[in-house]
Amino acid sequence: MAKDEDVKLVGSWTSPFVMRPRIALNIKSVHYDFIQETFGSKSPLLLQSNPVHKKIPVLIHAGKPIAESSIIVEYIDEFWSSAPSILPSDPYDRALARFWASVVDQKFFTPMKASMGAEGEAKKGLMNQAVEAIGLLEEAFGTLSRGKAFFGGDHIGFVDIAFGSFLGWIRVAEISNGMKLIDAAKTPGLDGWAQRFSAHDAVKDVLPDTAKLLEFSKLLAAKLKEKH
């Protein structure tokens, strides 16, 4: 069995996708070497370990690379299979968890990211799409949590990690745009959940500092606008 020293994660403190495996590794109490990429360039290690997509995160376990954040999280859950489990055990519940994680990526993240490089009416439209997605997730939280603290029930699960990894960026967007995406009035379920998730032992040290992330977001917005 591979030792914990054989676990490396290539990523960046700013990336929500990188946060996902970091949370998962923390849940499993696995120590790892965090190798940070420099913004704006890709290291030889990254290009060699993820030649197809050339993106972070990449988990390198005993020399073997695994790419794509959700795939890495499932791998962590399966390799370090002792409790707590990240995915539920029932196949239908697992399918639901995977479905909602993909809703986070497709319906929330895609318009949210696009809105950063947009302006005026276009930006407004994209932000509205992201807000609609949050509405869907509020409903999903009600159903999946079954009255408990997290989407995963008593413990943080797959959907918690998928959506919770965006909380730092959600706060930045709220400050930058002078509006609330998650609030006690419109999304009470998610509001309580966000506070509990952020305070969780497996999360609190990897959730980026809002002020630092806000500074970084200005750099990123400039870069995204350049591409248009």
Binding site for another protein (CB under 8 A): 52, 61, 64, 66-68, 71-72, 74-75, 78-79, 91-92, 94-95, 98-99, 102-103, 107, 136
Which of residues 10 and 66 has its CB atom nearest to another protein in the complex?
66
Q: Hey, which bits of the chain come out as E strands? A: 7-11, 33-36, 58-61, 64-67
Beta bridge partners of 150: 153
Q: Which residue stretches of 8-51 are H helix?
A: 16-27, 44-49
Which of residues 67 and 194 has its CB atom nearest to another protein in the complex?
67
Q: How far is the CB of 103 from another protein (least distance, A)?
A: 6
- Are 75 and 82 within 8 A, CB to CB? no
Which of residues 87 and 207 has its CB atom nearest to another protein in the complex?
87
DSSP state string for 49-75: H-TTT--S-EEEETTEEEESHHHHHHH
Q: How far is the CB of 106 from another protein (least distance, A)?
A: 9
Which of residues 61 and 200 has its CB atom nearest to another protein in the complex?
61
Q: How far is the CB of 87 from another protein (least distance, A)?
A: 10
Per-residue CA distances from 181 to 79, 127, 174, 178, 206 (Å): 35, 9, 6, 10, 21
Which of residues 140 and 172 has its CB atom nearest to another protein in the complex?
140
Q: How far is the CB of 195 from another protein (least distance, A)?
A: 27
Q: How far is the CB of 208 from another protein (least distance, A)?
A: 26
CA-angle at 51, arms to 48 and 53, nearest 5°: 135
